[in-house]
Structures are given as C-alpha cells and as structure tokens.
Amino acid sequence: MVLVSGGAGYIGSHTTVELIEAGYDVVVADNLSNSDMSGVEGVRKITGVEVPFVQVDCCDKEALREVFKKYDFDSVIHFAAFKAVGESVADPMKYYRNNLLSMMNVVDLMREYKRQNIVFSSSATVYGEAEELPVTEQTPRQAATSAYGNTKQMCEDILRDAVTAYEGLKGIALRYFNPIGAHPSALIGELPRGVPQNLVPFITQTAAGIRECLSVFGNDYPTPDGSCLRDYIDVVDLAKAHVVAIERMIEGKNKAKYEIFNIGTGNGVSVLELVESFQRVNDLKLNYKIAPRRAGDVVAIWADTSLANNELGWRAERELDDTLRSAWAWEKNIRGIK
C-alpha cells in the first residue's frame, strides 16, 4: 500500500491512477489547500476503485499520525507542498512552514511507524541556470532564487540525511522538469487557482476565452527563436516514473539509500514552438503577443534522462502533440466547451 500525500492535486491524482492500475492499494491524504475533491473523484471514475481519501494537513503531526495508525502502507509519495514561485518570494515563511514541516512530519512518522520507502517531488528548479546542458543529476545545484526553490533543495537534503542516518528508510527524489497535459480520459488535469503562472494552463485558458491574450515572455534570448527552452514532460509519463521508483525500492533494486533521478523527455522546446504546436494539433488560433522577459526566468534547461532510462527502465513515451491535445481536451471538459 502507498500513501500519496497531496494526492488530490495535479500530479498526485495522475500518479494515484497509475499506482492503482499497476495493482497497488493507495490512500490519498490532502488538505485540499490547492485542490478539491474533483481530483479524487476523477481517479475513482477512471479506475473504478473507491480509493480512500483523508483530509489532513501534513503539517499537523498528530492528525497525520492517525493516518499512519489507520493504514498499513509501506511507501509514501510525498507531493504535498505549495508550488507558486512568485507567491513564495512574496511570503517565504508560508512556504518554509508548509513545505519543510510537512516533509519533516512525514519522515518522522515513517521512522516511528517503520515505513520504508519515500519518493519526494523535487524540481528542475534546483539546477537554476545551468552552465552545461542537458543537466545530469551530477550538475551542481545553484543557489535558489525563490523560497519555493529553496524548499525543494532543503527537502532533498532533509531526505538525504534522514535516509542515510536511519536504518530501514530509503528515498528517491525525482526532479521533475515541466509537467504538462492531462489524463487521456480528460477526467483529471491541472486546476490552477486564479491567473495561471505556468505556460500551458495559460495557453488553454486563452484558447477557452478566459484570458484575453498569452504573453510570450521574451523573444530576444540567445536561443534559436529567441524564446526560452524547457523540457515539457507529460503528466502521465511523470506519474509512471513514480510507480517504477516505488517498485525499485520495494524490490530492493536501489543502488543507494538515497537516489536522485531527472524526469524529463531530454528535449528542449521553445515557448514559440510550443504555442505553434498547440495551435496546429488543436486546429485553433491562439491570441498571443511578445512581451518583455519575465524576471527570474532561466534561458534554457532540459534533462539528461539517461540515468532514469537506464536505472529505472523508464522513459517519456507520449509525443508532445498528444500531450497538447490532452491539455486542450481537459480545459474543454472543465469549461463545458464542445
């Protein structure tokens, strides 16, 4: 059995589906601070399994303890965190408190209740503006430019130190690149609150007429078309990486108590290329304009995925075109657009 913290959210709900489809029992724990029950209900519909859900704040150790007492899971996938980079700069304590305390509580309770395996949601943000591309897991982390990014680095370190020190614990940090898209059923997907900060939800909301115009942040970067390059990873592929990471630890195939894997496609795609592809595959015209650069953006980053390919036996499979179709199908579904 696997405890999925933050399992009502975007990546957590997709991962819960893949875990169930791979035969795992799952319990979802989430405080619904950035989600609602639609994610869990979507998972139940897709899988036909009445996955148990507990509304709990992982920062509330005693409440979380009840989940550990009640459910006999051996593994945890820890998604529960706040993730808005800009908000974390404006209110860093909110991010340090939520993201660090929830991580520490999960690890403490895993020790206390003798639960063995943990996968942590890390991020390519830990690499900052890397000197060499693509980035490998050995590429040095750069000083974080946001409290959010700092919590990812600190949680990686907490996990490394804890699993190294404590017998019976193993951990894998997955560094996600840019997760996008939705489940092929269009029953679960990303539900941004307010104005989306990320590119793909902004694109789909613009196509749906909720936003007037997409701003492409900069076309004067030193890249082939002047816009930034990122490694956009399909959320279902990303979800599957969690299943193999859990399996690796359960089967004792991990080579160290703490391991790190990049989870991306290995391709750098520009903002303008992504916008063009979205229009082409969905046969629509998107209102967009070139706008000034966004403060804090890295110019280019994409993953060297050979470690995940070779060690986990995992690779990104879904074509970008299909992912962009799924993103639009999801947006249409939640907006009731035919």
Q: How many Å apart are CA 137 and CA 175, to the nearest integer?
A: 9
Using the rule CB under 6 A, is 230 a contact of ligand WQD?
A: yes
Q: C-beta of 95: minimal distance to ligand WQD in Å?
A: 12
Using the rule CB under 6 A, is 217 a contact of ligand WQD?
A: yes
Nearest position to ligand NAD, beta carbon: 9
Torsional sign, CA 233, 239, 244, 248: positive
Give which of ligand NAD, ligand WQD, none residue 216 binds (C-beta under 5 to 8 Å, depending on kind).
Answer: ligand WQD
Q: C-beta of 4: minimal distance to ligand NAD in Å?
A: 10
Q: Which of 4, 27, 31, 300 binds ligand NAD (CB under 6 A)?
A: 31
Using the rule CB under 6 A, is 270 a contact of ligand NAD?
A: no
Which of 50, 46, 156 shows the shortest CA–CA distance to 100?
156
Using the rule CB under 6 A, is 206 a contact of ligand WQD?
A: no
Q: How many Å apart are CA 286 and CA 276, to the nearest integer?
A: 9
Q: C-beta of 224: minimal distance to ligand NAD in Å?
A: 24
Torsional sign, CA 246, 251, 257, 263: negative
Torsional sign, CA 186, 191, 194, 198: negative
Piece of 4-12, 157-165, 265-273, 305-313 that binds ligand NAD (CB under 6 A): 4-12
Please tell me what DSSP assigns to residue 232: E
Q: C-beta of 285: minimal distance to ligand NAD in Å?
A: 26
Q: C-beta of 44: minimal distance to ligand NAD in Å?
A: 16
Mask of contacts with ligand NAD, 122-151, x by CB under 6 A? -x----------------------------
Per-state percent for the chain, helix, strand, coil, to nearest 5: 40, 15, 40
**Closest CB to ligand NAD among residues 188, 249:** 188
Please tell me what DSSP assigns to residue 313: -
Instruction: Please give the single-letter amino acid code of residue 315.
Output: R
Query: What are the CA-CA distances from residue 282 to residues 14, 252, 267, 322, 327 (Å)?
Result: 23, 44, 21, 10, 10
Q: Please tell me the number of Cα atoms within 13 Å of 282 on its side-chain side.
A: 26
Residue 270, C-beta contacts closer than 8 angstroms, at least 6 positions apart: 223, 224, 225, 227, 228, 229
**Closest CB to ligand WQD among residues 68, 177:** 177
Angle at 148 between CA 103 and CA 29, to 5 degrees: 35
What amino acid positions are annotated as catalytic residues?
Answer: 148
Q: C-beta of 32: minimal distance to ligand NAD in Å?
A: 5
Mask of contacts with ligand NAD, 211-250, x by CB under 6 A? ----------------------------------------
**Using CB under 6 A as the criterion, which residues of the chain lie in contact with ligand WQD when the complex forms?**
83, 85, 123, 125, 178, 197-199, 202, 214-217, 228, 230, 271, 294, 297
Binding site for ligand NAD (CB under 6 A): 5-6, 8-12, 30-35, 57-59, 79-83, 98, 102, 121, 123, 176, 179
